[in-house]
Structure formats: structure tokens, C-alpha cells
Amino acid sequence: MSGDGVFPEAPGAAGCNELPVQRERGQRHVFCGLAGIVWLHRKIQDAFFLVIGSRTCAHLLQSAAGVMIFAEPRFATAVLQDRDLAGMADCNEELDRVVAELLARRPDIGTLFLVGSCPSEVIKLDLETAAERLSEAQQGRVRILAYTGSGIETTFTQGEDTCLTALAEQMPDLPAGERSLLVVGSLADIVEDQFNRLFEELGIGPVHYLPPRSAAELPPVGSGTLLLAAQPFVGETAAALIKRGATLIKAPYPFGIEGTRAWLGAAADAWGIDPARVDAVTAAPIARAERGLARYREQLEGKRIAFLPDSQLEIPLGRFLHRECGMQLVEIGVPYLDRRMMASELGLLPRDARLTEGQDLERQLDRIREERPDLTVCGLGLANPLEAEDLTTKWSIELIFTPVHGFDQAADLAELFARPLNRRRRLAI
Ligand code: SF4
């Protein structure tokens, strides 16, 4: 199955896997996987997320998501007390009581996720066994699953990957002889609707999404499933689905015009659709996206950008900003390099791109201070100190919360990077 070759290789682009990778180990500065609850609870509308954690975890969730709650929230934290942490109380009994109370009070909950944290991992609370025990007690009325959002050695988007891996194990079997396309990684509903229209025009279907809008309607998976990753951080989920017989389509990610065209082209190729049909279906949205992108390309062209390792979106976004917006890549830092998930992206980066994996925060900040890129993409906690040093920043988490995939969002995506540069210019006048 191929699909990588839809776009001609750019002059100076690296061949796949040729790019040297600089590995860094040291102090890291990223959000933990609990942050994923902020977008997952909005996407999966019948699910509830119960974090088993500390007051710090509760505070993180409240400050990240609480301000956006208008209805009764679909997440909470069961706070482990000192007695629990000291091993003086039976956490399982307490957990059973909290879950029973929650489910009695909220009969609308169809799927309950028990979300592990650093404290629950440190005291080795076995949430998977607890989920099985509680599911049995519910006799099928509520599905109870466990996953970890702990910040120990993970980055914030991995919370979605561990959540989807838990769901992957629950998905029904795709009947033998049937085939379907499964898009993996959360997308805004509006983007899903746009892609659905394009897949329909291409003649690809049925198309399912993971995560689905309702956890009660999990998509099927089996040997006839073709996987198309929409987010680069779903490597564990892809592995779990491959184990169930699915085949991963190699493709770049649908960021920008080029990425979206290649992503759709790879799906069409895997489905056996004539490339001429892909050209015909995508011509109008590409023309529209090119018109929208032109003004931002003018603003971004020649500007220098650095990514600190944070979201796992750094490589595909760097590719988009370099190839479609003319930006120069000073450094692309990734929390970890998943070569299988990045196979079609690495070859699209320029040969001289500096790619770093992992983090040694002080060294990385020293490089930023020395090289002074026009724009640095980083986590919330680093943005203010860098701005105080007269460096312009972009919060990486905004790229997860905003609809940025697909042709119709290509200009919006570029605008997210042009905005802080324009703000800085206005302040300087
Ligand atoms: S899971 Fe760990 S890193 Fe995340 S808020 Fe809780 S204690 Fe902090």
C-alpha cells in the first residue's frame, strides 16, 4: 500500500529516516496526560472521566477545563488522602463507594473512565482490576474502563492515546469480508463533517472515527479495517488496532493543503480509487484553501520558528509551515519520535532541519536565547518567561483545542502562527 508519493519530493527534502536526530535527556517541562480530558470529554458526549489523583490533579483539571463548563461537568477527581497515600486505608473500598455514589447521582453516564495519575501509580493502585470489578457490579449498565493520564515520563497528548487504547480493546469485531476506514485521533465535529463529505465524494465508506461522538457506539475493527491516523500521537492505539487485524495506511497528517491532499490520496489509494478522481474531488477545496492561505504566507515567509517538545504535532506543523508558508525551521523538538507514525512526515522536512527528541530544558532555552527565532512554540509555563525576554511565543496546547485539520482550516492554522507575530509588530510600532 502506498500513498507517500502523492506529492513530489521537495528540493532539499530529506529522504525518509535520513534526518539525524539529536537525543536529549534532562529536565522536561510539559503538561501531563490529564490535559486530554479537556478535549476528550467534549468529544465523547456520554462519557465521564474520574481522575484518581491528588489535589494537584484536581487543580490542573479545574484550571484547564473548569472555566469552560456551562452544564454539569463530565469529569471529577477522587482525591487520594494522606491515609491512602501512606497505605493506611483501603483505596479500593473508597473507590467503590465514590463510583457507586457518582453513578447513582448521574444515571446519564454510559461509559466511565477511571483515570490514573502520578499518585495512583506511585501507590500502585490497580485501576484496571478495579474497573473490571466495578463493571461486573454494574451488570452491563455502565461500561467502566481504566487508563493512565500520569505525568511520569509522558506528554500531554499521550492521555488521548492511552484513553483510545482502552477503547480499542472494547470495539466490536468487523464481520469477515467487510471493510471500513477508521480515522484515529480526535477531530473537531465540524472537521469530521467536512471529511465525511470528501470521503463520500471519493466513494470511500463506511468511515468510522475513534474517538466516536458516543462511547455507546464504538466502531468495529477487524482484518478489513484500514487505519488512517488524524493525529500523530496515537501510536499505542494504532498498535492495539493492528493487533486486532487492522492495517495502518502510511500518510502524512492532514495539516495544510499538502498534508490533507496526501492524507486523502493515501486513503483513496488504499481503497483502490483512481488518482484522477482524487484530483477532481479535491480541486475546488484546494483552490479555496490556496486563496485563504496566500495572505498568511506573505506574513510568515522567511520568518524563523522553533518548536519546544510538547504536543507531538511539531513535525507535521513544521513541515506545513516550511513547505506551504515559507518559514525557516530553527529547531523541531519532539517529546519522543515514533518512527512508524512519522514515516511519511520525516521525508518532507528539509535536510538541514534540526530535529531533537526528548528534552534538556536549560540547554534548549539557551539555544533559543542564542538563536532568537521570530516565533517559539511552547507550553503555557514557558511562554511568559520567554515573552519577558522579548521572544514571541505561541502556546502549543491551542493547536490541540482549535480545529486545524483539513483544507478548510489551512488558513486558520497559518493564522494561528501569524497572530503572535502581528501582535508583536503592532506593539513595536
Ligand atoms: S497526574 Fe501527575 S503531573 Fe498530572 S497533575 Fe496529577 S500529579 Fe501532576
Q: Which of 154, 189, 208 is at the close of a domain?
A: 154
Domain interval for residue 189: 180-275
Long-range own/partner contacts, residues 128-135 (CB < 8 A, 24 or more apart): 130/92, 130/95, 130/96, 133/92, 133/96, 134/95, 134/96, 134/99
Instruction: Give the separation between CA 6 and CA 4, rounded to whole angstroms.
Output: 6
Closest ligand 1 atom number to CA of residue 118: 2
* pLDDT score at 349: 96
Closest ligand 1 atom to 119 CA? 7
Residues with CB under 6 A from ligand 1: 32, 34, 53-54, 56-57, 60, 117-118, 149-151
pLDDT given for residue 28 in this prediction: 83
Q: CA nearest 236: which of 334, 159, 165? A: 165
Query: What gap in Å lies between CA 147 and CA 115, rounded to an integer?
Result: 5
Distance 151 CA to ligand 1 centre (A): 5
Question: How remote is the CA of residue 124 from the centroid of ligand 1, in Å?
Answer: 15
Q: Please, what sign has the CA dihedral across residues 245, 250, 253, 256? A: negative
Nearest Cα to Cα of residue 338 among 246, 208, 222, 237: 237
Mutation to probe ligand 1, out of 150, 153, 157, 162 (largest number of atoms < 8 A from CB):
150
Pair 335, 384 in one domain = yes
Q: Are residues 248 and 322 in the same domain?
A: no
Domain assignment present for 166: no
Residues 419 and 308 in one domain: yes
Which residues lie below 8 Å from residue 180, measured CB to CB, with a gap of 6+?
A: 174, 205, 206, 207, 208, 219, 220, 224, 225, 226
Q: Ligand 1 centroid vs 155 CA: distance in angstroms?
A: 11
- Residue 5 is predicted with a pLDDT of 31
Q: How many whole angstroms from 309 Cα to the centroid of ligand 1? A: 18
| Domain presence at residue 160 | no
| Residue whose C-alpha cell reads 482502552 in the numeric block | 166
Residue 62 lies in a domain: yes
Please tell me the distance from the alpha carbon of residue 78 to that of residue 119, in angstroms, as a whole number: 12
Predicted model pTM: 0.93
CA of 114 to the centre of ligand 1 (A): 15
Are residues 142 and 57 located together in one domain of the fold?
yes
CA-proximal residue: ligand 1, atom 3 (nearest): 151
Count structural domains, the chain.
3
Per-residue CA distances from 86 to 3, 149, 386 (Å): 54, 22, 39
127 within domain boundaries: yes
Q: Looking at residue 346, which CATH number applies to its domain?
A: 3.40.50.1980
Same domain as 39, residue 14: no
Buried b (16+ CB within 10 A) or exposed e, 334-352: bbebbeebbbbbbbbbbee
Beta bridge partners of 21: 355
pLDDT at position 3: 34
Our measurement of the distance from residue 62's CA atom to the centroid of its chain's CA atoms, rounded to an integer in Å, reads 21
Among 224, 243, 275, the domain-final residue is 275
- Residue 27: HSE in the Cβ half-sphere, 13 Å Cα cutoff: 6
Low-confidence stretches of the chain (pLDDT < 70) are 1-17, 66-72, 87-89, 429
Ligand 1 centre to CA of 317 (Å) is 27
pLDDT tens per residue, range 348-397: 999 888 999 998 899 999 999 999 999 999 988 899 999 999 999 999 98
Query: Which mutation among 59, 60, 125 tests ligand 1's pocket best, with the greatest number of atoms within 8 A of CB?
Result: 60
Same-domain check for residues 23 and 96:
no
Last residue of a domain, one of 275, 300, 320: 275
169 belongs to a structural domain: no
- Is 232 a member of any domain? yes
Same-domain status, 254 and 213: yes
Residues 325 and 358 both lie in one domain: yes
Residue 131, domain member (yes or no)? yes
> Do 347 and 369 have their domain in common?
yes
Distance between CA atoms of 141 and 293, rounded to whole angstroms? 49
How far is Cα 364 from Cα 120, in angstroms, rounded to an integer? 31
- Is residue 296 domain-shared with residue 423, that is, in the same domain? yes
- What span, in angstroms and rounded, lies between the C-alpha atoms of 310 and 78? 27
Residues 246 and 297 in one domain: no
280 found inside a domain: no
Verify that 232 and 143 share a domain, yes or no.
Answer: no
Q: Cell numbers 513595536 correspond to what residue?
A: 428
